[in-house]
A and B are shown apart, each in its own frame.
Chain A
Amino acid sequence: MESFRFCFLMLTIAILASPALSDLVLSKVDRRIYLTSHIVRISSTMKVENAGSEKESKVLLAFPEQQAKNMAYLIATPHEGKGKGKNPVVALPVEAANPKDMPAALTLYSVSLPKGLAEGDSFTFDVLAVFTHALRPIPEQITQADIQLVLYQDSAHYLSPYAVKVQSLSVKLPDSRIESYTKLENTKIHGSEIKYGPYENIPSFSYSPIAVHFESNLPFAVAHELVREIEISHWGNVQVTEHYKLIHGGAQSKGEFSRLDFQARPNVRGASAFRYLVANLPPRAHSVYYRDEIGNISTSHLRGDSKKTELLIEPRYPMFGGWRTAFTIGYGLPLQDFLFESDGKRFLNITFSSPMVELVIDALIVKVVLPEGSSDISVAAPFPVEQWQETKISHLDIDGRPVVVLKKTNVVPEHNQFFQVYYHFSQLSMLREPLMLISGFFFFFVACIVYMHADISISKSSASYLAKQQWEEVQAVIQQVQNIISRCLTTHDNLEASLRDLSRTGNIQACKAARKAADGLLKELSKELKPLLTFLQSSPSAAQVLPKVEELVAKERELQEKVMVKHSTVVDGYEKKLGARDIENRVALQQQKLTALRQEVDDLLEFIDEI
């Protein structure tokens, strides 16, 4: 078995190679391995002491190569102590290390201590290492009725380049059956927790393999590929669309699937399957949708409060080992929660990974789509990612929107931290979109105008074409005549209004002035009318309309005269200071005729209009 070979290799190395390392000694190591999820987390509290004379500033952490291949996340923080400090914990810088005289089957990381460790000093820090795909399902294929058993292998002694004085290990398992576990000295089991240790004075590079074989029915949700697209619109919305390709990463399911058994007794027939997934979206998420290639999936529940929006989704079928499903989740977020401005640059501050709880992602691609017109784009991420730029053509785009693509493999929920994308955008560029719509409408109207203007008749000298031309000219002239007549009528109305003013205020001079103005205006209008009338008389195609037009003009003249007469009568009356009733009597007859005439003129205008 592999572990035997590895153990042998380790022993050989321990015996043969005694590298001259720094004189650091780990005085106390407490390790806790959490197997309560398909993501394995190892949290170690280490107290390192400087037993030598030189000042040390780096501590090496060693992981066996096979384990290191599965490692997704590593963070070291100074130890908090009993009372939780109020200061936010600042991580210690960790980097991959390659010291010369180290065995090849180890992967090493070096932690930089904040202040160097002087002689005799000690420093306590916590290390959290997160591993994916570290639980091996054994047996590898199970039927629907079998329980899922997984195997975890590690070392009871902490593998370290330094000697360890006191160490202990506790393995926390889920509340289910423990099939078997390696029993070494000092091994105790309390319920679902196995304690190994304490072990004292263990030399460096000591490795004592243990294996725990236990039942795990937790959802082994693995996203084989996740594409997360974040589209920013400066009009007030950040749209996040996530495309998932999900696999159940546990023991492969073999044999038939009986839906009846599964629904009747789900805990017996299909304990290892999972039916739902929970995602914690940011608060104030709106317009959440859940669909796949077929269409909308209605089996979902959404619950929001001020801290988060919880989305519970059920795939179209329960997920058994090895089964796959693909779906899309989308939601909108308010812009002011995520987009900020500082130093003249705008930046987007948003979480990197999926909002789903306890999901392992094999390949995560995050695409940030910035509005068109953004320039000077840069990304600040809390961990190394691969990045490049693309273009996406979307609504109302001319060239396309710049897209920053970030890619990371082996992602765990600890990676769901905030990252920033900085870019420069001038406020004027926001006008680009309404201007595009406006220009669209403008061109449409210009096209209409051009169409009306365009003369697409083939023969320019045919009789019907010429007749049409002439008729159009006549129409134009008639419209002008109508225009003039309506201006005359408004002048009459003005005169009437001046008469009413007179009756109210008694200001005769103003009335006379109005009369003078009206006179002048009417004279001008009749002058304008003359050439139009001559044209109409001369053109042959106006023959039908001409009598009506002439009648209209004549009637209008009559009306004009009558209005003038009435006006002078009333003014005279006021000058002679007659009573109002007298004046009314005098003009009564004229008034009747006036109204009749006016009615006729209006009728004629309407009639001509309709031709």
Chain B
Amino acid sequence: MAPPAKAITSPVPDAWYPTLAVFMLAIGLVLTASFFIYEATSSKRNRSLAKELTTGGGFGSLFLLLSAGVYV
């Protein structure tokens, strides 16, 4: 092989997985909670909050799965 082979690693360092999982899940849960509270109390419905929470919840659950050993 003419060019030296470069080792490939994950884009996010492995050691950060549990910490990232906790933080992102916390953010996601807080946003989810506020979303449901807003839904339950207001009579005019909202839309924009939904987008914010999805990113928090999505990344949080991904890192949760990875830190648990389910390498998806």
A→B interface (CB under 8 Å): 233-237, 239, 287, 332, 334-337, 339-343, 346-347, 349, 395-396, 427, 430, 433-435, 437-442, 445-446, 448-449, 452-453, 472, 475-476, 479
Contacts and interface: CB of A to CB of B under 8 A. Distances in A.
B51 to A, nearest CB: 7
Given A335-B10, A441-B57, A441-B58, A235 B69 contact: no
A433 B3 CA distance: 31
B58 A437 contact: yes
Given A442-B51, A449-B45, A235 B58 contact: no
A435 B8 contact: no
**Shortest beta-carbon contacts, A-B, top 5:** A438-B58, A233-B71, A340-B5, A236-B10, A442-B54
Contacts of B14: 236, 334
Interface residues of B, number: 38
Q: Which of B1, B7, B53, B61 has the most CB of A within 10 A?
A: B7
B3 to A, nearest CB: 5
A332 B53 CA distance: 33
A347 B7 CA distance: 10
A346 B5 CA distance: 9
A395 B65 CA distance: 10
A305 to B, nearest CB: 21
A146 to B, nearest CB: 48
Interface in B30-72: 35-36, 39, 42-47, 50-51, 53-55, 57-59, 61-62, 65-66, 69-72
A343 B3 contact: yes
A174 to B, nearest CB: 42
B28 to A, nearest CB: 8
A479 B61 CA distance: 36
A142 B47 CA distance: 79
Interface of B: 1, 3-12, 14, 28, 35-36, 39, 42-47, 50-51, 53-55, 57-59, 61-62, 65-66, 69-72
Given A236-B9, A336-B8, 5 more contacts: A234-B10, A342-B3, A433-B62, A441-B54, A442-B54
Contacts of A337: 7
B12 to A, nearest CB: 8
Contacts of B46: 449
A323 to B, nearest CB: 34
Contacts of A237: 71
B43 A472 contact: yes
A441 B6 CA distance: 36
Contact of B39 (A332, A347, A437, A449): A449
B8 A433 contact: no
A341 B28 CA distance: 35
Contact of A346 (B8, B36, B61, B69): B8
Contacts of B54: 438-439, 441-442, 445
B50 A446 contact: yes
Nearest to A450: B45
Contacts of A448: 36, 39
Contacts of B72: 233, 235, 395-396, 433
B49 to A, nearest CB: 8
B42 to A, nearest CB: 7
Contact of B62 (A336, A427, A437, A442): A437
B43 A475 contact: yes
